[in-house]
Amino acid sequence: MIHTQVPCPPPGREHLDRASFTTWSTAARLSRGGQELSASYSGWMLPAPRGTQQVQPSVILAVVSLAALAYAVLSSAVIPALPTFQRGLHASETGVTWLLTGFLLSASVGTAIIGKLGDMYGKQRLLVWTLVTLSAGTLLAGLSGSLAVLIAARIVQGVAGGIFPLSLGLVVGGLIDEHLSWHWLFWIPLPPMVLAAACTWRYIPESQVRSPGRVNWAAAALMATGMSCLLIAIAQTPVWGWTGPLTLALVASGLAVSGLWILVELRSRNPLVDMTMMRLRGVWAANLAAFLLGGGLYACFLLFPQFAQLPRSTGFGYGASVVAAGLYLLPCALCMGVLGSVAGRVQRRFSARSAVIAGAAVSAAACGWLTITSRHPYDMLLSSTLLGIGIGLAFAALGNLIIQAVPAGQTGVATGMNTVLRTLGGALGGQIAATFVAAHMVHGLPTATGFTRTFAMSALFLVGCVVAGLLVPVRALAVPSLQPAAASELG
């Protein structure tokens, strides 16, 4: 995730409402020699100073879109193929889940680090190195033959940054896995990723804006260590038990290291995650909502394909193929796309706070439905549809909640922190889901109990997200107050 400064509104639109301004300002922006380029939804572009070289924004948009497309497949294509990984690599339920958990954990740390490095050394340079790192991790994954090496490759991929939309990879991953092999889940996205890295180096101009500072590597190490201890403790509960001495020791260690991480961040002049912002009610409430939303949703994403692929002999599985299992999430993907396209209008009409609350409530209903009944395939299709509606409403609104709670000059740091916490929530929720399923096995196959408890847990996470959304203060920041800061940043 590369943070950018907030620009001024286009000429003639100085009095944009908050939601419109936010939607417009999320456009991809890069600079060369003071020239500001925008590939925005409206197609508007700041006029370049005379004498500067014109750069085609369509080329920039095409390159970034290519990278996002390949990353979308890599980030989510493994989800419908997890049962195949488990059989092919002779892995346990909790072991194979680390293909997602490790990715999310490293992404949460990588998001904060890359955003900081981009501000310090240039966004184009960091984008190139991000894509190169991602390509290296993908190559390693394609060559891997063991679970340990594959998890290491996924961690390298996750370091490349934040999470792109899930919709494409969930469907494409099933097609690739069924008709080729799981190795091709990595070989196919590799050439576009390498091409995107080369085109980024060649065609995307470098920003001349630099922010002095340094990366707090100690904070990054403490953050990763604390979360890893907690996740490993959860993953091992089927073997050690929830009250076993090793479990309790790892949980205590994880909490202690996480507490130390918070202290280091509070005392640092260059924090990786600015904890002082958490004193603002609007910030900590929105971040709590993001954490709970990530935990609830990723637990569902993890189990939907596996549930559908279980044989009918279990009494609850649908006996679906890998492709069909991915298609059960197609209503979710379609609803996410539709709601995402009208998110700005929804938030202008009802507010970002209301969108988060409504989205979390609809998602909780989706998980609650599967807790009550999942006997027929249409139960999962209904739940998938509701989940897509909830995600489409809540995800876009979360960013706007953060932007409304902080000054314009701090939006990059604040939204980055929100992404980190949502990703950490996803890692935690996914690992708890795998633990519940692994703890209820009969003759090598999961029972319905593990899935039911996971869906109930997801519903509780999402109800908590509703409560967190209600705690966000009802207020609106006037757009004119953003303009002076934005103008000063652009010089």
Percent of the chain with pLDDT over 70: 74
Last residue of a domain, one of 271, 296, 314: 271
Same domain, 236 and 126: no
Same domain, 390 and 287: yes
Based on C-alpha coordinates, what's the Rg of the chain? 22
Same domain, 345 and 479: yes
Highest mean pLDDT range out of 38-47, 181-190, 362-371?
362-371
Q: Is residue 53 predicted with pLDDT exceeding 60? A: no
Name which residue leads in pLDDT, 477 or 57. 57
> What is the token pair recorded at 279?
């004193």
pLDDT band (50, 70, 90) for residue 1: very low
Q: What is the pLDDT of residue 403?
A: 80
> What is the token pair recorded at 399?
């960013």
CA distance 156 to 135: 9
Query: 26 in a domain, yes or no?
Result: no
CA distance 387 to 297: 8
Query: 307 in a domain, yes or no?
Result: yes
Same domain, 139 and 223: no
CA distance 102 to 426: 11
CB atoms within 10 A of CB 221: 15
The torsion angles phi and psi of 30, rounded to 5 degrees, stand at -140, 160
Contacts for 113-116: CB closer than 8 Å, 24+ residues apart? 113/215, 113/220, 113/272, 114/1, 114/2, 114/160, 114/161, 115/1, 115/2, 115/3, 115/412, 115/413, 115/416, 116/213, 116/215, 116/270, 116/272
Query: 13 in a domain, yes or no?
Result: no
Cα 46 to its chain centre, rounded Å, is 30
Q: pLDDT averaged over the chain?
A: 74
Same domain, 179 and 255: no
Q: What is the pLDDT of residue 455?
A: 92
Same domain, 230 and 306: no
Q: What is the pLDDT of residue 25?
A: 38
Q: Find the mean pLDDT for residues 11-36.
A: 37
Same domain, 166 and 226: no
Query: 72 in a domain, yes or no?
Result: yes
pLDDT band (50, 70, 90) for residue 212: low
Name which residue leads in pLDDT, 12 or 120. 120
Q: What is the pLDDT of residue 76?
A: 67
Query: What's this model's pTM, rounded to 2 decimal places?
Result: 0.69
Same domain, 264 and 284: no
Query: 22 in a domain, yes or no?
Result: no
Q: How far is CA 393 from CA 14, 343, 357, 377, in A?
A: 27, 6, 9, 25
Q: What is the pLDDT of residue 256?
A: 94
Q: What is the pLDDT of residue 214?
A: 75
Name which residue leads in pLDDT, 258 or 345. 258
For position 93, which CATH number holds?
1.20.1250.20
Same domain, 180 and 309: no
Question: How many independent structural domains does the chain possess?
Answer: 3
Buried residues in 255-284 as b, exposed as e (16+ CB within 10 A): eebbebbbebbeebeebbbbbebbebebbb
Query: 88 in a domain, yes or no?
Result: yes
Q: Find the mean pLDDT for residues 365-373.
A: 91
Which domain, by its residues, includes 255? Answer: 216-271
Contact predicate 19/352, CB 8 Å: yes
Last residue of a domain, one of 227, 246, 271: 271
Give kind and range of the element (H or E) at residue 194: helix 190-203
Q: What is the pLDDT of residue 460?
A: 94
pLDDT band (50, 70, 90) for residue 410: low
CA distance 394 to 466: 10
Query: 16 in a domain, yes or no?
Result: no
For residues 241, 246, 251, 254, the Cα torsion angle rounded to the nearest 10 degrees is: -150
Q: Is residue 146 predicted with pLDDT exceeding 90? A: no
DSSP codes, 397-455 = HHHHHHHHHS-GGGHHHHHHHHHHHHHHHHHHHHHHHHHHHHTSEETTEE-HHHHHHHH
Query: 401 in a domain, yes or no?
Result: yes
Residue owning tokens 């370049």: 48
- Specify which residues 28 forms β-bridges with: 39
Same domain, 86 and 231: no
